[in-house]
Structure formats: structure tokens, C-alpha cells
Chain A
Amino acid sequence: MVNEVLFWVVAVLTVPPALSLLFARKAAHIAMSIVLVMVGLAAAYVGLDAPFLGVVQIVVYTGAVMMMFLFVLMLVGVDRREDLRETITGQRWIALFAAGGLALLLVSVVGRVTIEPAPRGVVGNPEEIAMVLFGEYVLVMEVLGALLITAAVGALVMTHTPRLTPRRTQSELQAARVLAGADPVNKPMPGVFARHNALDAPALDPEGRPIEHSVSRVLEARDQMSEGTDFRARLENTRNPEDYQRPSGAPSHDADDRKGRREGRDEEGAQ
């Protein structure tokens, strides 16, 4: 006979989660409830002397099928709201009536059946299943193999989208970028070496001016960018004799050529 406690455990483990199929709102919650139903059914199979099927149930249904459901759920957008408008008037009540009638009919008819179960004999362990599967049903097995391959190819064909435009190579993309007026070289990294090496400070160009676009746009949008002017100011206040000739205000292009600075130093040395 069959373990009674196991039956009630399985019944409690399967029916309430299955009801979430009707009442839960989010598809991800429903998928996880159905996983629970599948695990409960696997326990039922083990209790019904079919341990091989129990393991297959866990591997195939909870492991593969329901995970694929979740994948597709994520692909099509998990937070998509279900449209609850009724297009056929009273469809909800008609459907509930039909399904309830079906349940009533099946339960009342099946409940009246009195079959005395055979005493416990064969157990569906892998060896026994294999004897039947590869003996009597070997042709069905072959056909199922063909079916699986066909299904895989069919899924590939259906989800494959042909490329509408020719593939653009990396060098073509780069040429287009330069043609559009982009800088052909990399942007400078943010941060001032040896002073403030954080990402929020703009880099300084050779004349000591901050380069605004060296800081990430995200920090700019969040208003977390530091100006960089204080670093520049400290650079100019240093008592470096080489900077002697530099004007104290904003550095100018005119004053800052290397030749002029060298000449100024030479004059200083002569004095």
C-alpha cells in the first residue's frame, strides 16, 4: 500500500502552490510556485515506487523546464503588467465554472472507482525501466530522439533573426567615428598625478588647465565633480624657480613657450 502521510504531505505541497496559477499576479512568483509543485510530484513518484521518474522529474522539470520559463520571463520583461480587462463578457466566471465542473466531474467519477491495487511488486528503478524502455518500446525511444532534435532545430529556426545590414568591422566603426569629428586618440584619464588621484578630479593639461571631459559623465551628472582649479592654483604657487617667469594669473599660451622661459632664465643667470 501507499504511505498515507506522504500522500497528505504531497497534497498540501502541490495544490496550494498550483492555485497561485490562478490568483498570483507576478509571473515570476507563479513560476517558483510551479517549481514547488514539481518537487512535490517528484516526492509522489518516489512514494509510488517510481524512484527513477522522481529523479527525472526533478532534473527535467524543476531543473530544465521551469528554469527555461524563468529565462523567457526575464527576456520578455518580468515587470510587464497583465491586462485584466475582460474582452469576452463574463469570461472569468465561465472559465471558473467550466474548470470547477471539470474538477467536480473527475473527482466524483474517480472517487467512485474501487480498484484493489496489486500487491507491491516491481519498483521502477533504472534497471527495470531500461529493460522495458529498450525492449518493448525501443522504437518509440528512437522516434523520441528524432523529436528532441527536431524541437531543438525548430527553436533555433524560430528565434533566429536574419541580419538586415552587413556586419560592420571594428576598423570601419573607428573610421566612421573619426569622420564624425571625434578625437582619434583616447581621452585622458581623470585625476592629478601625485596630488589628487581620484576619479572626480579632472586631469590637467600641460599648461595646468583642467580638462573637463576627462571626468566620467556620470559624476558630472551627479554633480560630484571637483573643479580642479584648486590643484591648478597650488601648482602655480609653488616656489619652483623654473616657474619664475610664469604669469601669476591664468596661464596663457603666449607666455608659456619653452623657448621664452629658457631665455628668461638665462637673463636671470646673467644678472
Chain B
Amino acid sequence: MNPMNYVILASILFAIGSAAVLLRRNAIVAFMGVELMLNAANLSLVAFARIHDQLDGQVMAFFVMVVAAAEVVVGLAIIIAVFRARQSISLDEPAELKG
């Protein structure tokens, strides 16, 4: 079986993640969508590393994981700071301006 199937699976997961980012109002859920997109990209990197029989793709995926971990730390800290300031983590707060 061709490893390209994993790339197709990665595209499907990426689309699901992007749909979650577009649809959900809860900041944490939208953030999980971003995580899913990063993981889909990782999966395609690993699949291409297997296709080309080189380790560079795996090292790239490793780097993506490190950056994702740092991003989660900062992002969740921002969510907590926003929650402290406004008692809400909805991404739709600007709608309140319309009254």
C-alpha cells in the first residue's frame, strides 16, 4: 500500500481541523482544531519522509512538535488571561458591541 494514503488521511484531518477553527466559538475547542491541523501536517511530513526514505521529514515533524508545545503553553496562558479579564472565553465577544 502506497504511503500516499496517509497524506490523503492527513488532508482530511486538516480539513476537519480548519472547519473546527471556523465553526466553534469556544476558544479552547478552536485551539484544539489548530492542534489537529498541526498534527495533520506532521502526519504528511512523516509520510513523505517514508516515501523519500530520508530522515529530514521526521526531524521536521519533531521540530513542529516542539513549536506546537511552546505554542500551546503561550496560547493557553492567553486564554486564561482573557478569561480572568472578561469571565468568558468565547471568540464572539465583539458581537456584544452591536447590543
Chain B residues with CB under 8 Å of A27's CB are 26, 28-29
CA distance A18 to B8 in the complex (A): 15
Top 8 A-B residue pairs of the complex, sorted by shortest distance between their CB atoms: A99-B19, A103-B15, A106-B11, A95-B22, A151-B70, A118-B53, A155-B77, A87-B95
CA distance A133 to B41 in the complex (A): 19
Query: Could you tell me the dominant secondary structure of chain B's interface residues?
Result: helix
The stretch among A63-71, A174-182, A208-216 that forms the contact with chain B is A63-71
Further 17 A-B residue pairs, CB within 8 A, beyond A106-B15, A124-B58, A148-B70: A1-B1, A7-B6, A15-B9, A18-B16, A21-B32, A22-B20, A27-B28, A41-B39, A41-B43, A48-B46, A50-B58, A65-B69, A69-B31, A76-B79, A87-B92, A106-B14, A117-B53
Is there a chain B Cβ closer than 8 Å to A96's Cβ?
Answer: yes
A75 engages B80 (CB within 8 Å):
yes
A21 engages B78 (CB within 8 Å):
no
B32 engages A31 (CB within 8 Å):
yes
The stretch among A108-116, A165-173, A248-256 that forms the contact with chain B is A108-116
CA distance A129 to B61 in the complex (A): 11
Number of cross-chain contacts by CB at 8 Å:
240
Chain A residues with CB under 8 Å of B83's CB are 75-76
A72 engages B58 (CB within 8 Å):
no
Chain A residues with CB under 8 Å of B19's CB are 21-22, 95-96, 98-100
Give 1 or 0 for each of B33-62: 1 = CB within 8 Å of chain A CB: 101100100110011011111111011011
B56 CB → nearest A CB, Å: 7
Most buried by A among B1, B28, B55, B95: B55
Chain B residues with CB under 8 Å of A31's CB are 32
Are A159 and B81 also in contact (CB < 8 A) when A53-B46, A76-B28 are? yes
Option from A19, A48, A85, A106 in Cβ contact (under 8 Å) with B50: A48
Shortest Cβ distance from B56 into A: residue: A132
B73 engages A155 (CB within 8 Å):
yes
CA distance A1 to B55 in the complex (A): 17
The stretch among A54-62, A198-206, A237-245 that forms the contact with chain B is A54-62
Q: How many chain A residues touch the partner (CB < 8 A)?
A: 86
Pull 8 A–B residue pairs with CB atoms less than 8 Å apart, ordered by A.
A22-B23, A27-B28, A38-B39, A44-B43, A48-B47, A53-B42, A96-B23, A115-B2
Option from B36, B52, B62, B80 in Cβ contact (under 8 Å) with A18: B36
Is there a chain B Cβ closer than 8 Å to A219's Cβ?
Answer: no
Chain A residues with CB under 8 Å of B90's CB are 82-83
| Docked complex: A73-127 residues within 8 A CB-CB of B | 73, 75-76, 80, 82-85, 87, 91-92, 94-96, 98-100, 102-103, 106-107, 110-111, 113, 115, 117-122, 124
Chain A residues with CB under 8 Å of B50's CB are 2, 48-50, 117
Option from B11, B33, B73 in Cβ contact (under 8 Å) with A103: B11
Chain A residues with CB under 8 Å of B49's CB are 48, 50, 124
| Docked complex: A21-61 residues within 8 A CB-CB of B | 21-22, 27, 30-31, 34, 37-38, 41, 44-45, 48-50, 52-53, 56-57, 60-61
Chain B residues with CB under 8 Å of A52's CB are 58
| Docked complex: B52-99 residues within 8 A CB-CB of A | 52-56, 58-59, 61-63, 65-74, 76-81, 83-84, 89-90, 92, 95, 98
